[in-house]
Structure 1
Amino acid sequence: MKSALCLLLAAAAAWPAAASVPDPARLVSLAGSVLRIEAPRERGGLAVGSGVAVGPDLVITNCHVTREALDIQVVRGGVRWSASAQAADVDRDLCLLEVPGLQASPVPLGHTGALAIGQHVAALGYTGGVGLQNSPGEVVELHRFDGGRVIQSTNWFTSGASGGGLFDGNGALVGILTFRLRGGAAHYFAAPVEWVRQLLDERRRDQFRRVMPLDTRRVPYWQAPASTQPRFLRAQVMQRDQRWGELALLSYDWLRADAEDAEPWHLLGTALERLERPTEARMALECSLRLAPAHATVRAQLEALRARSGQPDPPADCRPDHH
């Protein structure tokens, strides 16, 4: 644990000065509440991930870490405990473990509604599956999905950190590290803490099942076939691959379903800008900014377009059918 604390302190010292940067002392205090998960699999081998204590004997992790488990071990400082049962929300990729005798310090739970684009956050997990590490980063986007806001950030992590915690500047848990898209520095995604709260609020004794392999035919939303994944995730792939025409069509479809979401307006503006349709791009970005005035990325993108055009803004009609 001493080496893990040194890693956390060294990483925290590398943060630029800013009011929202997580305090190093808080990160160190969280170290004992972020745990290593080991899950021997039915088909052989060992799945390794991370987990976060949300109760003295309760640990949240990703179901993709434990879904084939014959046994689940929670490890802290060389000491291990066996999970006796788990409650699974496979669709959201969250599994809540009962770990008798763990007696961990639960982390404070925050709110994704308090997050802002560009805000500094810290990711704590067993990146590489070895020692606990802090990965600093910032919020890139907050994707409205399934009653929460999936957090996209620049906090680098690998599969061993799956199930680890994403923390705000006050040391409050705002997300559970879940998956990443290859090919970009800002493609790291965390499940919102609101989903964790819901799983905690809904838990009943009959929802917990003894540890055994889950139904592997069910997969979380991000591992579903591409055509059935949520729009925000399909859009991220299109942006990464520079498929601007497809992104514009997806954005139009998204807006017809929900014109009050700022994200598809932003995506549409980005696609139209890349398709060399700057006037329409400015209109779409203006609509996005009206819905999310604090979105720094949209504001900067719109100001850059204005500077290049040298023309006053066209009237923005924020009705999807008029674009």
Structure 2
Amino acid sequence: MMRLLVLPWILLGVSSVQAQPSIVETLELGHSIVMVTTDIPGGSNGRGSGVVVSPEYVATNCHVIANSNGANIAKFRDGYQPIGLKANWKRDVCLLKFDPLPFKPVSMRDSKTLQYEEEVFSLSFPAAAPVPQISYGNIKGIYPFEGSSIVRSNAAFLMGSSGGALFDQHFNLIGLTTFKSPGHQAFYYSLPVEWIKELMDAPEMVSMKTNDIPFWAVPLEQRPYFMQVVIPYQNEDWAALEAIASQWTNKEPTSPDAWYFLGLAEEGLKKFAKAEQDLQRAYDLNQRDYDAMLALSRVAFNQKDLATLEAIQPAISAMDQTEGEQIAQQILKLKQGS
């Protein structure tokens, strides 16, 4: 298995909002999450996760099983051998076919219906855990890609979680937990369920051997812009981030994230007036982007832009009352200084 998923263990995600389901509430749902095991050439074994998406099919990431000598799934100490395979190696979505399985398939929700800051949770088998582990978070990015959208959340996952499930609050599958960015502030990405649905109509494969590379593992300059911006952002290489984000805004002028990262770069380069303009554009395109709101409020305060702070404060307060109160204090400070 690829080593991109290695990171320090995080037991739970960052969100502690009461709406998130408890571990007990997800026990039944966990019956639809399976461990995928593989025989790797050389005698070793690999492990990943999978999701039961129909009576016959388990969805997982292709990189979990690619070029292995064989794969099966395990649940409740029982093993099941697939009888067929469907694969889109470049998208990294695979379907293992079985005689009808004794597990309930999950319901699926298309990525086009998702919103930023929705609460989500993942279930998978990280680090060879004996039962599915839960991780909480929020949707932080929705990136149009190949007719659907890649979903970024801050629901952390470990190696072994590849092919696991990302769920909304109504227990609908919204993505396969697949890859994370390198660096100290990891970004966690999931593949859309539309790709699973499309693959169900594809012909079966005759082999697990492939020379294809997943889109997220190609050389950096060939990856989508939403991936290219991460390393310069983490390294605070603002000039490099500005260059990449500028290309992104030119290619996708309606992408709020493109303008957000461009605004961050301009803020880092102390181009505050331009940063405020581009962060405002990001917010105008997506008024649920909490990170863009915070960045805009930060730059607006630097620019002593009282009108923008007053306009954005209620939206921030609705998402985080403490942060909203801090901005209210900034507004008061600017008024007292005027």
Superposition TM-score, scaled by structure 1 size: 0.86
Q: What is the deviation of 1:18?
A: 3.7
Q: What is the deviation of 1:193?
A: 1.7
Task: Tell me the equivalent position of 2:140.
Answer: 140
Q: What is the deviation of 1:208?
A: 0.8
Letter matched to residue 214 of structure 1: K
Alignment of 1:220 with 2:214, yes or no, is: yes
Letter matched to residue 89 of structure 2: V
Alignment of 1:125 with 2:107, yes or no, is: no
Question: What is the count of residue pairs matched by the alignment?
Answer: 297
Q: Residue deviations 1:252-271, cap 9 Å, x none?
A: 11222221111111110011
Task: Tell me the equivalent position of 1:4.
Answer: none
Alignment of 1:191 with 2:185, yes or no, is: no
Task: Tell me the equivalent position of 1:55.
Answer: 54
Q: Residue deviations 1:255-289, cap 9 Å, x none?
A: 22221111111110011001111100000011111
Structure 2: distance between partners of 1:129 and 1:248: 40
Divergent runs of 4+, >4 A: 23-26
Superposition TM-score, scaled by structure 2 size: 0.82
Structure 1: distance between partners of 2:285 and 2:258: 11
Structure 2: distance between partners of 1:219 and 1:184: 25
Q: What is the deviation of 1:23?
A: 5.6
Task: Tell me the equivalent position of 1:38.
Answer: 37
Q: Residue deviations 1:41-69, cap 9 Å, x none?
A: 23431111000000012000000001022
SS at match of 1:96: strand
Q: What is the deviation of 1:312?
A: 6.1
- 209, 221, 225: which one pairs with 2:205? 209
Structure 2: distance between partners of 1:260 and 1:153: 21
- 211, 214, 238: which one pairs with 1:244? 238
Q: What is the deviation of 1:185?
A: 4.0
Larger deviation, residues 182-191 vs 86-95? 182-191
Structure 2: distance between partners of 1:282 and 1:54: 44
- Segments of 5+ residues of structure 1 without an aligned counterpart are 1-10, 315-323
Structure 2: distance between partners of 1:142 and 1:161: 20
Task: Tell me the equivalent position of 1:320.
Answer: none
Task: Tell me the equivalent position of 2:279.
Answer: 285
What percentage of residue pairs aligned between the two structures are identical?
25
Q: What is the deviation of 1:128?
A: 0.2
Structure 1: distance between partners of 2:245 and 2:181: 20
Q: Does the 8 A contact of 1:86 with 1:97 survive in 2?
A: yes
Q: What is the deviation of 1:136?
A: 1.4
Task: Tell me the equivalent position of 1:319.
Answer: none
- 293, 296, 301: which one pairs with 1:302? 296
Letter matched to residue 165 of structure 1: A
SS at match of 2:27: helix
Task: Tell me the equivalent position of 1:8.
Answer: none
Letter matched to residue 209 of structure 1: M
Letter matched to residue 254 of structure 2: E
Structure 2: distance between partners of 1:15 and 1:165: 17
